[in-house]
Copies of this chain bind each other. A is one copy, B any other.
Amino acid sequence: MISRQQLIDQIKQKRSFLCVGLDTDIEKIPSFLKAYPDPIFEFNKRIIDATQDLCVAYKPNSAFYEAYGVKGLQSLIATWEYLPKDCLSIIDAKRGDIGNTSDKYAKAFFDEASSGMGFDAITVTPYMGNDSVTPYLAYDNKWIIILALTSSVGSKDFQYLTTENGFLYETVIQKANTWAGADRIMYVVGATKSTEFTNIRKFAPDNFLLVPGVGAQGGSLEDVCKYGMNKDCGLLVNASRSIIYASNGEDFADAARAEALKMQQQMEVELEKAGVI
């Protein structure tokens, strides 16, 4: 379990706020790995070994493991077990259901004794409201990361609807702020909307924001930091494909490290610029 302060300390120490997304796709990993009994885990293990001093969080995307049934779940569990305990472990699962069902999802991802996995944080979808997210908060020191403004095309369909309290995504943040504080809730905010960060910081000055969309999806790290960074950093910038698939050859782990290092160096500049380090 990683508290808010521990996360901040680690960001300062590693001079990085990088989250490496483990969207590991059997069709995209180097083919020589297929000789191993669990190619997906073998890939993740080498990515983790190559990047763990450069990042502060890892985020396996549950869908990529669920797609392969029992074998996929075994790879996910093995990956969770292998994650360095000083890094925040985020399961990107985007769950959301009524209370008695969210209890079970919390068990699935937070209760190691039950499921074999004990992630530090889970991404959740807000549509079903309060009782769909509060069961996760019953686990001390675990985090929920609520979808606010996502980076895909479909975000326009509903997240930008005007409600009585502003855009829907603003209302989500305002309402979720009443459920728990910045020590338990983060928000997902897509990097492709960097000018929106100023606005989001009005409602969520202290919360960490998990930011996908830098890299493969085209968002700019500099813009994200300019508009979104707060005095504690307050950002976890995720990169998945641009790091883990930097090379498709035997050198994939080295290539991933080189990409992660490039991002860490840019992050160090931004942290210094903002006076966080």
Residues on A facing B (Cβ under 8 Å): 23, 25, 61, 63-64, 66-70, 72-74, 77, 92, 94-105, 107-108, 111, 114-117, 125-132, 147, 150-159, 161-165, 168, 171-172, 175
Count of chain copies: 2
Question: B130 and A153: CB pair below 8 A?
Answer: yes
Asked if B101 contacts A23 (CB within 8 A), the reply is yes
Contact B153 A129 (CB under 8 A): yes
CB contacts (< 8 Å) of A77 on chain B: these are 69-70
Chain B residues whose C-beta falls within 8 Å of the C-beta of A111 in the assembled complex:
67
Q: A72-B115, A158-B168 are contacts. A67–B104 as well, Cβ < 8 Å? A: yes
- Greatest chain B CB density within 10 A among A23, A104, A168 is at A104
Are A107 and B67 neighbours in the complex by a CB distance under 8 Å? yes
**Complex: how many Å from CA A155 to CA B127?**
8
CB of A163 within 8 A of CB of B159, answer: no
Find A70's partner among B23, B74, B101, B172 (CB 8 Å cutoff): B74
